[in-house]
Amino acid sequence: MKKTIGLFLLLLMAATRLTAQQAEYLVISEVRYYETSGINEEFVELYNPTNAAIELSGHKIQYKSSTGVNWTDKTTFTANDVIQAKGFYLYGGSATVPVPDVSSAATLGLGNSGGHVRLLNSSLVELDRVAWGAADSPEGTVLGSHERGGSFERKAFETSTAASMEAGGADETEGNGWDSDDNSSDFVIHNSLATANPQNGSSPIEPDVPLVDGSGTVSVSPSSITAPGPANLAFTFTAGDTLLTTVQIELPAGWNYQSAMISGAGFSQANFIENPNDVVVNAAALQGADTGILTLVGVTVPTTSGNFTVHARTATADGTLAVIQVQPVVQVIGDPIDISELHNNNGDGLPVLLGQVVVVRGVVTLANELGIAAYMEDATGGIVVYDATFADGVSIGDDVTVIGTLTQFNGLAELTPGTVIETHATGVEVEPTAVTCLQISNQGASGEPYEGRLVQLYGVTVAGTGTWAGNTNYVISDGTGSTELRIDSDCTLVGLPIPGDPFDLIGNVSQYDFSAPHTSGFQVLPRFASDVIQSGGPGISGGPWESGHTQSGLSISWTTTLPGASIVTWGLTEAHEIDSLVYENSTTQHSVDIADLDPATAYHVRVGAIDVNGSSMTSDFLVSTVSPSSSPGTMEVFFTKDVESEYALPGNEANGNHDMIG
Give 600-634 pLDDT, tens digit per residue: 999 999 999 999 888 888 878 899 999 988 887 77
Question: What is the reported pLDDT for 339?
Answer: 96
Question: What is the reported pLDDT for 209?
Answer: 46
20 confidence band (pLDDT: 50, 70, 90): very low
Mean pLDDT of 146-169: 92
Whichever domain contains 88, its CATH number is: 2.60.40.1260
User: Which residue pairs from 122-127 have beta carbons closer than 8 angstroms and sit at least 24 positions apart in sequence?
Assistant: 122/57, 122/58, 122/59, 123/58, 124/60, 127/25, 127/26, 127/27
Same domain, 286 and 369: no
Angle at 161 between CA 160 and CA 162, to 5 degrees: 135
Question: What is the reported pLDDT for 256?
Answer: 96
> What residues does 45 pair with on adjacent strands?
30, 90
Please report whether residue 254 resides in a domain. Answer: yes
Q: How far apart are CA 57 and CA 142, in angstroms?
A: 29
Mean pLDDT of 332-347: 92
Mean pLDDT of 114-129: 94
Quick one: CA torsion of 530, 531, 537, 538, rounded to 10 degrees? -10
Mean pLDDT of 138-154: 94
Question: What is the reported pLDDT for 655?
Answer: 65
What is the overall mean pLDDT for the chain?
89
- Residue 389 sits at φ, ψ, to 5 deg, of -65, -40
> Going by DSSP bridges, is the β-strand pair 602-611/614-617 parallel, antiparallel, or unpaired?
antiparallel
Please report whether residue 253 resides in a domain. Answer: yes
Q: How far apart are CA 165 and CA 370, in angstroms?
A: 41
Residue 13 Ramachandran class (φ > 0 left, ψ -120 to 50 alpha, else beta): alpha
The CA R_g of the chain, rounded to the nearest whole Å, is 32
pLDDT at 512 over 70: yes
Q: Which of 458, 467, 475 is nearest to 619 (CA)?
A: 467
pLDDT at 660 over 60: no
* Neighbouring C-beta atoms of residue 344, cutoff 10 Å: 13
Q: For 512-578, where are the E strands, in sequence order? A: 522-525, 532-534, 540-547, 554-571
Same domain, 226 and 364: no
Please report whether residue 613 resides in a domain. Answer: no
Same domain, 317 and 176: no
Please report whether residue 531 resides in a domain. Answer: no
Same domain, 174 and 243: no
593 confidence band (pLDDT: 50, 70, 90): very high
Q: What string of DSSP letters covers 29-68?
A: EEEE-SPSTT----EEEEE--SSS-EE-TT-EEEEEETT-
Please report whether residue 273 resides in a domain. Answer: yes
Please report whether residue 409 resides in a domain. Answer: yes
pLDDT at 659 over 70: no
Give 200-225 pLDDT, tens digit per residue: 999 999 875 444 556 889 999 999 99
Same domain, 185 and 223: no
Question: What is the reported pLDDT for 4?
Answer: 34
pLDDT at 327 over 50: yes
Same domain, 156 and 281: no
Q: How far apart are CA 440 and CA 178, in angstroms?
A: 45
Give 46-91 pLDDT, tens digit per residue: 999 988 899 999 999 999 999 988 999 999 999 999 999 999 999 9
Among the candidates 464, 480, 515, a domain finishes at: 515
Same domain, 319 and 371: no
**Domain interval for residue 224:** 217-333
Mean pLDDT of 222-240: 94
More confident residue, 636 or 529: 529
pLDDT at 661 over 60: no
pLDDT at 496 over 70: yes
Q: How many domains does the chain contain in total?
A: 3
- Residue 432 sits at φ, ψ, to 5 deg, of -60, 145
Question: What is the reported pLDDT for 19?
Answer: 39
Same domain, 63 and 144: yes
Q: How far apart are CA 529 and CA 177, in angstroms?
A: 54
pLDDT at 396 over 90: yes
Whichever domain contains 302, its CATH number is: 2.60.40.740
